[in-house]
């Protein structure tokens, strides 16, 4: 069994660091979402709609939880490690993972995963001709 070191508990985690990282994370998500919307084969069915809601009862092992609301009524659970942003964005396998919708991923992949929420492939136009 292989254990991803980035999924290990985060010692000495701080909620204020996670909250600060949330702002930077959401800015990166919005930027990536705008890029994804430029792809001619996709369209956005739902988007982030409002501010994330803190869900302290869902905190786990040094990761702090928020629910991110979407325009279709869904909420995507996000758990952010309570560490300095630079550590979270690190390229090492030991960088603490974020959890997006129950999936443990490193920073860049977490940004892409949340940015891709609500995106759908356009129907194949050539099949209708």
- What's the length of the chain? 129
Q: Where are the domains of the chain?
A: 10-122
Look at residues 110, 125, 129 and name the one whose alpha carbon lies nearest to residue 22: 110
What pTM value is reported for the model?
0.90
Q: Where are the beta strands (DSSP E) in 7-55?
A: 42-44, 53-54
Q: Are 58 and 79 in contact (CB under 8 A)?
A: yes
27-70 pLDDT per residue, tens: 999 999 999 999 888 899 999 999 999 999 999 999 999 999 99
HSE-CB for 7 with a 13 A CA cutoff: 9
**CA neighbours within 13 Å on the CB side: how many for 104?**
16
Q: Is the pLDDT of residue 127 over 60?
A: no
Mean predicted confidence (pLDDT) in 6-16: 95
């Amino acid at each position: 069994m292989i254990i991803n070191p980035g999924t290990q508990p985060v010692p000495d985690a701080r909620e204020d660091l996670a909250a600060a990282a949330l702002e930077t994370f959401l800015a990166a998500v919005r930027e990536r979402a705008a890029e994804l919307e430029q792809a001619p084969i996709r369209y956005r069915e739902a988007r982030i709609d409002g501010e994330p809601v803190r869900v302290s009862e869902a905190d786990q092992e040094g990761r702090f939880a928020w629910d991110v609301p979407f325009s279709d009524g869904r909420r995507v659970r996000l758990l952010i490690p309570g560490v300095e942003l630079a550590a979270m964005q690190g390229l090492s396998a030991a960088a603490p993972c974020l959890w997006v919708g129950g999936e443990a991923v490193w920073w860049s992949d977490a940004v892409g995963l949340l940015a891709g929420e609500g995106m759908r492939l356009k129907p194949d136009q050539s099949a209708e001709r």
